[in-house]
Amino acid sequence: MIRALGIALVAATAVAEQAPTYQEGEHYLALPIAVETRDPAKIEVVEVFSYACIHCYRLEPVLDAWRQTLPDDVDFHRLPLVTQRLRPFAQAFFTAEALGVLEQVHRPIFVAIHDHGIDMSRPQYIRRLFEREAGVDEEDFSRVFDSFGVRGRVNQADGQGRTYRIMGTPTLIVNGRYVVEVPRTGLESMLLIANYLIEQERGAAER
């Protein structure tokens, strides 16, 4: 799987004239109403993900390498999917953002769940991981994890996911307009299609 995704990444960074043409309705969906992006001056790509999602875990290393190649006019960020069951994972994500330790704990959370079978929906296990991987002490973790600000961010993510009409993870949202889903594309093609849509949006902005 990782080898196949690596091949997709190489293909995704090929020159534009070699890129295939993808069709709306077959390879991606258009949202009926465009969603406002956080920086209108850039082309936004949002990965809607869940730490509980094995496909998100498998995509992560290639997605991380891909985002390092994105030009300055592309704004990439992640959004955790929120359901009642997944809420603790979303709290963990926004806690990591608030504490400035997301890069240290993001992949280890995936590893704990999918490689070691740890129930990371339990706050005490999340806290221990934050301490081990990023040196966050218990008091700071508890203060932020249960804070009004983090819970507000989780609720906002819930609303945003509903606006995107998310059916599963991972899903890529390109510029608040287009939805790229795994069942429709497969993991191997997601980045290819995202690159195609980025080019389409860039071309539309230049006209």
Lowest-pLDDT range, 2-6, 91-95, 197-201? 2-6
Number of neighbours of residue 11 by Cβ within 10 angstroms: 16
**Confidence band, pLDDT 50/70/90 cuts, at residue 182:** confident
Per-residue pLDDT, 21 = 82
Provide the percentage of residues in the chain whose pLDDT is more than 90. Answer: 83
**Confidence band, pLDDT 50/70/90 cuts, at residue 16:** very low
Provide the percentage of residues in the chain whose pLDDT is more than 70. Answer: 90
**Confidence band, pLDDT 50/70/90 cuts, at residue 183:** confident
**Confidence band, pLDDT 50/70/90 cuts, at residue 15:** very low
pLDDT higher for 203 or 148?
148
What DSSP assignment string belongs to 105-170? HHHHHHHHHHTT---TTSHHHHHHHHHHHH---HHHHHHHHTSHHHHHHHHHHHHHHHHHT--SSS
Say if residue 14's pLDDT is above 50.
no
**What does the alpha-carbon distance between residue 16 and residue 125 come to, in Å, rounded to a whole number?**
45
Residue 88 contacts residue 129 (beta carbons within 8 Å): no
**What does the alpha-carbon distance between residue 148 and residue 129 come to, in Å, rounded to a whole number?**
22
| Domains, the chain, ordered by start | 2-14+24-206 (3.40.30.10)
**Confidence band, pLDDT 50/70/90 cuts, at residue 186:** confident
Of 206, 178, 197, 207, the closest CA to residue 70 belongs to 197
Say if residue 82's pLDDT is above 70.
yes
Say if residue 13's pLDDT is above 60.
no
Say if residue 3's pLDDT is above 70.
no
Residue 39 dihedral angles phi and psi, to the nearest 5°: -140, 95
- Taking the C-alpha atoms of 59, 50, 158 and 9 in order, what is their torsion angle to the nearest 10 degrees? 0
Residue 106 contacts residue 75 (beta carbons within 8 Å): no
Predicted confidence (pLDDT) per residue in 118-127, tens digit: 999 999 999 9
